[in-house]
Structure 1
């Protein structure tokens, strides 16, 4: 069992700041254990030297000693529990904070390797299980085996002949415990993976609750959940069933030893080979060993689950090439908003299929680029290369006159405002959400950004205005309101590059027109993913993509003359300008 502790090395290294408290807690645990091991020995003396000898004074002296030892054990146990709780809670806080920070530092490629539900499980139940093991380690996990070993040693001190019968089955039980630890670790590791699946399904269903209700799929999703939860129950029961074998086997072995002690102890007393007090003491030690063994099944179960959990936590802590590369380049002089794609190709990490191939274009400062194309043509992938969510596989991306790979990520992203395809808002007030764009922004800046995003008048009509609380993911707002708040959040930071990934799809024609008019005064280079010709027409350039390649590039008028695909899109949207070029 102790060999398995090696696997917890990385996780438990976060307990090092509390090693002073740990040493003191272990000292108190050993003090409590020592006192407990002395008590049967003192009882044996009371019986043999006091009761059997009829020495009343000896009985009183040893009785006072026994009470004193009990008080010491009581105080040691209470103080030990206090320090064990302090260390385990502080350890779990530090570990959870480090793990969350590690996740935040992940590159998107690394983040995609771990399901969100699995990360949630690691940050919650896995850390809780490891925390419990640390507490138990300082309180009972070491105490139980030490009590067993100490009881055997003291039994030999009291009477070696009787002690032999007490320890005769111990090697067999030790091998049995080792085998059960190995089985337990394997089973509970599988249980944690099942728990990940349950969490993932719950997360998906809660996010899609409106869709489930609209399509009347509640019963179907409930049956799916029952199947997944049933698998978790089956595997958990199987794991616990294996672990439940431990206690009966241990108790059987100890009870057989105890019967042997009593049987042979009675004959030894008759022949003078043992005294009554010695038999009482060894029986007492046997009972303490039995009590310690009864804790072993619980300890093994906890250890097995914690070991499986610690390995899952280590996967995150030790993930290779996990952090975003924070190059410190010489990109200090900012040429506002210039963007160049130089023969760029890109494939997502872990795949060989290129989603972008040989993309080249130049965007001057403060120009507006409309990006169009069918679903899966690579529009979003292209945008993700600018703030370095991913790095180009071939070619180079230049921002502000410098290769993005030579930028500090912090400096680069400070100049970029991003409005994602899916509008994401956080639980808190509207002010809290807008301040994400610029942490120290004053109310006037927030209001100005909201006015440009065409959401200010809507916000001031709310009973609490900018102090209105936004529900989880903006559940109490319409799609258009969420999109406009997301745009305002990006505008607050006054970026030199503004990326809008199809983020006006929920706006009506009038509101969208007012938005684009307001953005004309922004000194920012804009990249706008859109499916609307009327939006593309107001851009300085249009990049039309098809299957990861540039199908056409130029102004609206140029593409109408030279791109059949663009004309088809325009015709499908019944643009009036089509007649001039057909």
Structure 2
């Protein structure tokens, strides 16, 4: 957790102020029992009302000063903790944004959400407590012992026995509880994972009547977390009575031995009252420390998880010496590329070599798992190759800045992703300064204008989270419009026509042909009808290129392509 506190530099003045204010508040609290002792001995015992009022006024002033210090310290410590949370959330978000897909695959979405929300809240809560309790508790304990010793040395032996006993109970119970606190965040991850899968996969769950199965999964994860909390609360349930028992026995012992010393004339009543208050301050400071022992292990586990996200260096970063690339070309070339996913036994791609030029349409076709999507994910550098190189305009993508590389590309992913907001905002997402005319034109080319105009609010229609209020084909057309509006040099369509009917598919490809005449176009498709007219068709099979050429050439030279075609087209269509 100390590593995270390096981000508190902007709040150094606040922290120094809190330390000073807490110190002053603690001094005020320690001074009050001494004043009470004076009132009892010199005021009440002597019947001196003036002295009582005078010292009572000083007590009120000291108490007011202590309260003011406490309020301001609480305000500043809260601002500091919330500020730290803001900084950490920004750090986590920015770091996750810089991750390659390898890092996303490693962590998973559920745990990244938990680390950015719940884990940071744990650190915030403990930061407030550290600034308030962990500073004041030791000062109160040490100061209380000194002040109690000044009131009566012999009676301090009661505290010499009570404080170590209380410390032992706290340490034993904290040791029992730490494993449960550390595992709590992992169990919250599990609940988030199950809940997220349930919400995003609701249609599939209901379609397959798996409601009861999902309820059982959630109940298992929920019960696991609940059992963990119960174990922690059992420890807490034992801790608080144990501590209160020690504190009450200590109070009785102080009153017992104190009254004996008063009878013997070795101690006065005011000193006994002050000693009792100091003893309570010492024991309550130990109680505050016990709460810290409970909270810190969980926050420590959360801090380790936050640090893990921040400290991982993304696998894909810009080179120190970035090479500039000529504008307005878009030539793509693969040179003997081999790529493997982390932990995979076999490469996903092996020995891939081809080129795609501006003004040409290059199509990639193949069976499921043949490496089509993997291949095109290497162009915008979502992953880095293991061997060989991917070149854009003659420059290895690893030698370009990611921003410049991706500015050249209009990418339409296999799974159409829309963001909450209007249709206009979703299409304009492809180009920050896109005007109304550009947005409407892109929608028209993407064959989206008709269904948009039939919506009640047209381009101002709100898209729900995940685009659940539009169909799959409508999502694809909006995704295509988003790529078109930026007018890139390279278009990548990853199976982006699969949800369209043949008529819409044909109209869309005809409209696209005019728009992307001077651009490099790479299309991944399952349907032969989508790729037949391409200038170059690349046939993928088990991560390798099984054939390359036009439709006519491949029909005579590539067995894999002929199998794909014959499985989709009738003999009449083939003829």
Aligned match of 1:564: 559
**Greater CA deviation, 236-245 or 212-221?**
236-245
CA distance in 2, matches of 1:213, 1:387: 37
Aligned match of 1:406: 399
Aligned match of 2:369: 376
Aligned match of 2:3: 10
CA displacement at 1:133 relative to structure 2: 1.3
After superposition, give the CA deviation of every residue in 1:298-343 in whole Å (9 maximum; x if it has no partner).
3322222211111111111111445634554323224612111111
Residue 156 of structure 2: SS of its match in structure 1? helix
Does residue 531 (structure 1) correspond to residue 520 (structure 2)? The answer is no
Aligned match of 1:299: 292
After superposition, give the CA deviation of every residue in 1:423-467 in whole Å (9 maximum; x if it has no partner).
100000111111110011111111111111110222122121111
Structure 1: runs of 5 or more not aligned? 1-7
Aligned match of 2:539: 544
Going from structure 1 to structure 2, the CA distance change for 1:132 and 1:579 (only over 3 Å counts) comes to: closer
Aligned match of 1:319: 312
Does residue 477 (structure 1) correspond to residue 470 (structure 2)? The answer is yes
Does residue 393 (structure 1) correspond to residue 417 (structure 2)? The answer is no
Residue 516 of structure 1: SS of its match in structure 2? helix
Aligned match of 1:3: none
1:279 to 267, 272, 275: 272
Going from structure 1 to structure 2, the CA distance change for 1:403 and 1:577 (only over 3 Å counts) comes to: farther
- Counterpart mapping for 1:487-498 below 5 A: 487-498=480-491
Does residue 105 (structure 1) correspond to residue 122 (structure 2)? The answer is no
Does residue 19 (structure 1) correspond to residue 12 (structure 2)? The answer is yes
Does residue 345 (structure 1) correspond to residue 366 (structure 2)? The answer is no
Aligned match of 2:569: 574
CA distance in 2, matches of 1:322, 1:245: 48
CA distance in 2, matches of 1:328, 1:438: 27
1:246 to 231, 239, 246: 239
CA distance in 2, matches of 1:563, 1:467: 49
Going from structure 1 to structure 2, the CA distance change for 1:322 and 1:55 (only over 3 Å counts) comes to: farther
Aligned match of 1:516: 509
1:260 to 225, 231, 253: 253
CA distance in 1, matches of 2:108, 2:174: 28
CA distance in 2, matches of 1:435, 1:386: 23
Structure 1 stretches of 4+ moved >6 Å: none
1:194 to 174, 181, 187: 187
CA displacement at 1:221 relative to structure 2: 1.0
Aligned match of 2:419: 426
Residue 369 of structure 1: SS of its match in structure 2? strand
CA displacement at 1:168 relative to structure 2: 1.9
**Greater CA deviation, 192-201 or 300-309?**
300-309
CA distance in 1, matches of 2:492, 2:331: 13
CA contact (8 A) 2:166 2:286 kept: no
CA displacement at 1:473 relative to structure 2: 0.8
CA contact (8 A) 1:370 1:530 kept: yes
Aligned match of 1:210: 203
CA distance in 2, matches of 1:321, 1:457: 43
Note the aligned Cα RMSD (angstroms): 1.8
Residue-pair matches, total:
573
Going from structure 1 to structure 2, the CA distance change for 1:440 and 1:579 (only over 3 Å counts) comes to: closer
Does residue 51 (structure 1) correspond to residue 44 (structure 2)? The answer is yes
CA displacement at 1:138 relative to structure 2: 2.4
Aligned match of 1:5: none
Residue 106 of structure 2: SS of its match in structure 1? coil
CA distance in 1, matches of 2:242, 2:64: 34
CA distance in 1, matches of 2:54, 2:111: 61
1:88 to 81, 105, 109: 81
For normalisation by structure 2, the TM-score amounts to 0.96
CA distance in 2, matches of 1:350, 1:281: 68
2:32 to 10, 34, 39: 39
For normalisation by structure 1, the TM-score amounts to 0.95
CA contact (8 A) 2:448 2:478 kept: yes
Aligned match of 1:119: 112
**Greater CA deviation, 50-59 or 405-414?**
50-59
CA displacement at 1:182 relative to structure 2: 4.5
Structure 2: runs of 5 or more not aligned? none
CA distance in 2, matches of 1:483, 1:38: 73
CA contact (8 A) 2:318 2:400 kept: no
CA contact (8 A) 1:430 1:470 kept: yes
1:454 to 430, 444, 447: 447
Going from structure 1 to structure 2, the CA distance change for 1:323 and 1:390 (only over 3 Å counts) comes to: closer
CA distance in 1, matches of 2:334, 2:316: 25
